Amino acid sequence: MEFFNQLILAVSVTSFITFQVLFHYLSSWVSTRVSPGFKKLSEKQKIEWNSRTVSTFHALVVGIFCLYILHFDDAVNEDPVWGDPALVKLNVAITTGYLISDLLLIIFHWKAIGDRFFVVHHLAALYAYYYVLGQGLLPYFANFRLLAEFSTPCVNQRWFFEVLGYPKSSKPNIANGVMMAVIFFLVRIAVMPIYYERMFSIYGTEAFYRLPFGGRSAWMCSSICLDVMNVMWMHRIARGCYKVLRYRRKPEEDAQQNGKIE
* DSSP structure class, residue 23: I
Q: What is the pLDDT along the chain (262 residues), one digit of tens a residue?
A: 566 788 999 999 999 999 999 999 999 999 999 998 999 999 999 999 999 999 999 999 999 999 999 999 998 988 999 988 899 999 999 999 999 999 999 999 999 999 898 898 898 888 888 888 988 889 999 999 899 999 999 999 999 999 999 888 888 888 998 999 999 999 999 999 999 999 999 988 898 889 888 888 888 888 888 899 899 989 998 888 887 777 666 555 444 544 544 4
For residues 111 and 45, the answer to whether their CB atoms sit within 8 Å is no
pTM over 0.85: yes
Residue 152: the pLDDT is 94
Give the integer Cα–Cα distance in Å for 156 and 31: 14
Contacts of 46-52 with CB under 8 Å at 24 or more apart are 47/109, 47/112, 47/113, 48/112, 48/113, 48/159, 48/163, 49/160, 49/163, 50/22, 50/23, 50/24, 51/23, 51/102, 51/105, 51/109, 51/113, 52/156, 52/159, 52/160
Cβ pair 82, 75 in contact under 8 A: no
